[in-house]
């Protein structure tokens, strides 16, 4: 090399600087790896369907609680355990807002059309918890008849002497109640303790209080739970929380799993043996033990549940990456790169890991539904998040209350989690086929 250095640089000239190039320029754009994958993915109809359902669920989990719902945490005892009513479906008998009543039912049932202030019977059923059903005038309830219920209970304020001079109501509160259409009952003498003092009952029709224009507009799409919370809002909020758990688990799992698997698979030998024994011990611990210990030690918050899920799920990813490394590290091109002096890190990340890109992307997508599934399982076992809402929590709550009595509390979360699983699986399968390099260009 050195002996040519003395040659004057001007003596060199370009061989083909002025010659004409006969090659045509490519007029089509080159399709990259991901462009090609997207193209092939779009051809797979079922995967696209899964993708669309997934997107709809994700969008609904973000905006769902704010449309059509009535607040996630707003408890309203007076609206407790209302059956679901979905306007269009109710015409064909699904989610019609009905519940079975029989003659033995102790609750007092009255048609809404009769609930008028000038009704002579008015205070009789205001003074006790009563169930109001809408539509037809009062009919004798047959055994096990399905009755469409509104099922609200009236508030009752007690007050002495005058409704507002009391420990229960200030004057302003009293006037507010009057403005909402409250009705004051007749004074009741309470003789037993303090003679001469009277008690009034002030009843407020919650429909008016909550701004429902008519009883027709009063319904909950997915019903309400035993505390009177709107299930529609809770289901979507729970979906959001479950998806976030899944996303977090997927990101952490892939990061840890890829690094661990790459090191283990690339270096092999003693390092592999040691790392594999460690992950084997960890994977040998049944997940139920890991969950229990994590929850017992760190409490059952969103973060700890996600942490417990990561502890068990990264091993799968690392095994997958490891086996990819075993497959590719002996290939000739890797040997060639090593002979040319490539460092280990370059061999790992530049030459071998891209081979595993497809499986990594696919598995990271499929970790999300499995994390959601596991979270639901933990909730069923009574270890789920406390003080929050997730799909699993809703399911286990509905289960605890009794699925035959209040099926809608379980059915809607069950429907959402099933849809999520199906669409994630369809999407993941399509992704796997689209990202598989061996299928590239084969149609």
**Minimum Å distance from CB 376 to another protein?**
7
Q: Which is nearer to another protein, 16 or 339 (CB)?
A: 339
* Of residues 47 and 203, the one with the C-beta less far from another protein: 47
- Going by the DSSP 8-state scheme, the letter that residue 329 receives in this structure is T
CA 70 to chain centre: 18
β-pairing, 188-189 with 183-184? unpaired
Give the tokens for residue 385.
Answer: 């998040």
User: Between helices 407-435 and 357-380, what is the axis angle to 10°?
Assistant: 170
| CB atoms inside a 10 Å sphere around CB 368 | 24
What's the alpha-carbon Rg for the chain, to the nearest Å? Answer: 33
CB of 113 to another protein, least distance (A): 33
- Min separation Cβ 380 and another protein, Å: 5
* Residues at the site binding another protein, with contacts judged by CB under 8 A: 46, 266-269, 272-273, 276-277, 280-281, 283-289, 292-293, 296-297, 326, 329-330, 369, 373, 376-377, 380-382, 395, 399, 403-404, 407, 410-411, 414, 417-418, 421-422, 424-426
Q: Which two tokens stand for residue 80?
A: 């407790």
| Residue number with CB closer to another protein (121 or 344) | 344
Task: Output 131 or 250, the one with its CB closest to another protein.
Answer: 250
Query: Minimum distance from CB of 141 to another protein (Å)?
Result: 21
Q: How far apart are the first and last CA of the chain?
A: 51
Helix (H, G, I), strand (E, B) or coil at 171: helix
d(CA 126, CA 403): 30
Q: Which is nearer to another protein, 206 or 316 (CB)?
A: 316
Per-residue HEC secondary structure of 348-376 comes to: HHHHHHHHHHHHHHHHHHHHHHHHHHHHH
Closer by beta carbon to another protein, 4 or else 297 = 297
């Amino acid at each position: 090399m050195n002996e040519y250095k003395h040659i004057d640089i001007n003596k060199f000239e370009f061989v083909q600087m002025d010659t004409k190039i006969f090659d045509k320029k490519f007029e089509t754009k080159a399709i990259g790896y991901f462009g090609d994958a997207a193209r092939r993915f779009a051809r797979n109809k079922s995967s696209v369907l899964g993708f669309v359902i997934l997107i709809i669920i994700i969008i609904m989990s973000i905006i769902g609680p704010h449309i059509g719902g009535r607040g996630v945490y707003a408890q309203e005892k007076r609206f407790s355990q209302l059956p679901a009513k979905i306007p269009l479906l109710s015409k064909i008998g699904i989610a019609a807002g009905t519940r079975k009543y029989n003659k033995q039912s102790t609750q007092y049932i009255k048609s809404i059309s009769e609930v008028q202030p000038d009704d002579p019977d008015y205070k009789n059923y205001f003074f006790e918890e009563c169930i109001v059903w809408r539509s037809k005038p009062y009919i004798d309830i047959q055994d096990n008849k399905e009755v469409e219920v509104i099922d609200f209970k009236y508030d009752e304020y007690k007050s002495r002497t005058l409704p507002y001079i009391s420990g229960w109501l200030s004057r302003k509160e009293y006037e507010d109640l009057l403005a909402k259409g409250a009705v004051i009952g007749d004074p009741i003498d309470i003789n037993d303790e303090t003679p001469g003092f009277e008690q009034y009952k002030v009843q407020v029709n919650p429909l008016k209080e909550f701004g429902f224009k008519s009883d027709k507009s009063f319904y909950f799409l997915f019903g309400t739970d035993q505390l009177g919370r709107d299930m529609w809002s809770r289901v979507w909020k729970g979906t959001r929380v479950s998806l976030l758990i899944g996303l977090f688990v997927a990101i952490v799992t892939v990061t840890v799993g890829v690094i661990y698997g790459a090191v283990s698979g690339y270096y092999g030998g003693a390092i592999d043996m040691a790392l594999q024994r460690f992950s084997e011990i960890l994977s040998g611990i049944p997940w139920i033990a890991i969950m229990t210990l994590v929850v017992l030690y760190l409490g059952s918050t969103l973060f700890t549940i996600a942490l417990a899920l990561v502890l068990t799920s990264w091993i799968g990813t690392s095994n997958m990456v490891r086996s990819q490394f075993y497959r590719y590290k002996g290939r000739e091109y890797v040997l060639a790169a090593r002979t040319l002096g490539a460092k280990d890190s370059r061999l790992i990340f530049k030459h071998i890991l891209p081979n595993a890109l497809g499986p990594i992307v696919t598995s990271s997508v499929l970790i999300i539904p499995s994390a959601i599934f596991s979270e639901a399982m933990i909730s069923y076992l009574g270890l789920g998040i406390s003080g929050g809402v997730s799909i699993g929590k809703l399911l286990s709550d509905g289960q605890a209350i009794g699925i035959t009595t209040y099926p809608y509390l379980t059915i809607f979360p069950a429907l959402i989690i099933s849809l999520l699983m199906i669409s994630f699986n369809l999407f993941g399968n399509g992704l796997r086929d689209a990202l598989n390099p061996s299928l590239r260009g084969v149609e």
